[in-house]
Structure 1
């Protein structure tokens, strides 16, 4: 997909996840909206994947370490055909596979996540296995910024450069909000980029809701040989829904019928604008 097509796909994924959360009456809305652009760039442009062969050995691996923001991931996997899109209607219902965190009983999910701080360590192991087995696949790990307060993140951060894992790409969804407030009030993280660089990572800071910037950074990785890459994706929590953006309450707020209608109207307008831009070009 080109950049305009990726932008349009991200809008559609946002519409799908909001509808799904509203139907289920549960979900992590704000973080799923902030990471939608990241997932769209990865799955529709960057990663080597095959929905028909989810266990293909040569596939790139994706770990959603911030597993609570799974709604956008479920919508992406369904849209790509890893499982029927109709199954989204069962999200968080009794007996479903589509629970509130990644579940490796679902095609396309590498590991169960949810307890924060574990995903990067697993990703280090996967990347190291690729190196030792002579495989060419890359490993992408999406972390939350609130998750950066977990000590296990920094143990893994030491291991990545130690093993010279230039096939490993960490991404921080830096929306500066977590369930209990702003990250700098809950547990100050800054200077976060300098911390990652001091651990030996090649650090790239971008606007994580700018599709062009995301594609450029992800296509360039690894940008430094024998070093893992850390992309600091500066995002807006609740991105795409004006009344949800940068509002802590929307961390796990479920849109009511009126809010859903307003949000879908905004996103439909954004989608129409992208279509008009395409026709002009």
Structure 2
């Protein structure tokens, strides 16, 4: 990936994180898990998927199902930066007068399906992928799962069905931030060796750094060669972008006061700007 594109994506992701952090106040949100998913969602919506909220009736468009629905602040931030959602509406977060809430709601243009009950959307994604194949379409279907969500047996049942039907237009993506709620996944119900398990269920499986746009582009550009469903395990960091809360079990759900939000935004800007500047210097 060219440096210019990588920095463009990083700056987009920074703006998304700027949208997410204020939602962790006046009632709070699932901040840590949302921040871990930002980079993969940024790549998917800006560089891979063919989706336009103004033309959701386009029969050739792609689909993204956010099964780990508590990451919806990241989705809201993406939609705002794409121009699909008015930024002022984020101020209605948790208001009974709007549909901006802790989990996806189809009243928000671009949200494909209600989510919140973990393990539910892989089956929905399979249904859409099957319908596309029946009408001989070329649409792609992406389903984002949390690693803790893989404790749900319905996920593994869906993987078996996807393999049985050889749904090459279906891509599962796991946000592998190594936490399930407020516990490390390996302390609760160990998932490793996760790649081997997914491969054994018939999924063409890859494992990458979910914050590395070069790796994201490399793996997603080769999926069209697969003859069956794909699984991309994205190793991520809970709270990515804010070192003060990164990889902390107690920073899954957060509710900060306004001064704490201001401090977190300052931290976010300092870290990301230093990262972008260092890349520019190295490239020279």
Which band: TM-score by shorter chain?
A: over 0.9
Paired position in structure 2 for 1:95: 97
Shift of 1:8: 1.1
Q: C-alpha displacement at 1:262, in angstroms?
A: 2.6
| Shift of residue 271, structure 1, vs aligned partner | 4.2
Question: Which consecutive unaligned segments of at least 5 residues does structure 2 have?
Answer: none
Partner of 2:228 in structure 1? 227
**What is residue 250 of structure 2 aligned with on the other side?**
249
1:89 and 1:119 map into 2 onto residues whose CA distance is: 28
Structure 1: how far apart are the matches of 2:171 and 2:91? Answer: 32
Q: 1:157 aligns with which of 159, 164, 174?
A: 159
- Which residue in the other structure is 2:203 paired with? 201
Number of aligned residue pairs: give it.
279
When residues 187 and 85 of structure 1 are mapped into structure 2, their CA distance, relative to the original with a 3 A threshold, is: same
How far 1:107 moved relative to its partner?
A: 0.5
**Gaps spanning 5+ residues in structure 1: where?**
none
CA distance in 1, matches of 2:238, 2:163: 30
Counterpart in the other structure of 2:13: 10
CA distance in 2, matches of 1:277, 1:158: 42
Q: Map 1:1-281 onto structure 2 (within 5 A).
A: 2-22=5-25, 24-224=26-226, 226-273=227-274, 274=276, 277-278=279-280
1:14 and 1:55 mapped to 2: Cα distance?
Answer: 29
What CA distance in whole angstroms lies between the structure 1 residues aligned with 2:83 and 2:103? Answer: 19
The root-mean-square deviation of aligned C-alpha atoms, in Å, is 1.7
In 2, Cα distance between equivalents of 1:185 and 1:270:
30
Deviation digits for residues 10-29 of structure 1, max 9, x if unmatched? 1111111001222x432100
How many angstroms apart in 2 are the aligned matches of 1:183 and 1:20? 26
Instruction: Report if the CA contact (8 A) 1:102-1:112 is conserved.
Output: yes
1:206 and 1:214 in contact (8 A); partners too: yes
Separation in 1, partners of 2:265, 2:79: 21
Q: Contact (CA 8 Å) 1:180, 1:186: kept in 2 or not?
A: no
Larger mean CA deviation between 197-206 and 207-216 belongs to: 207-216
Q: TM-score of the superposition, structure 2-length normalised?
A: 0.93
Deviates more, 1:49-58 or 1:243-252: 49-58
The 2-side partners of 1:49 and 1:173 are apart by 21
Deviations 1:228-270 (A, max 9, x none): 1100000001111001111011100223334322321122124
Contact 2:182–2:252 (CA<8 Å) still a contact in 1? no
CA deviations over 1:80-106 (Å, ceiling 9, x no partner)? 122212111111111211111010111
- The answer to whether the Cα contact below 8 Å between 2:76 and 2:85 also exists between their aligned partners in 1 is no
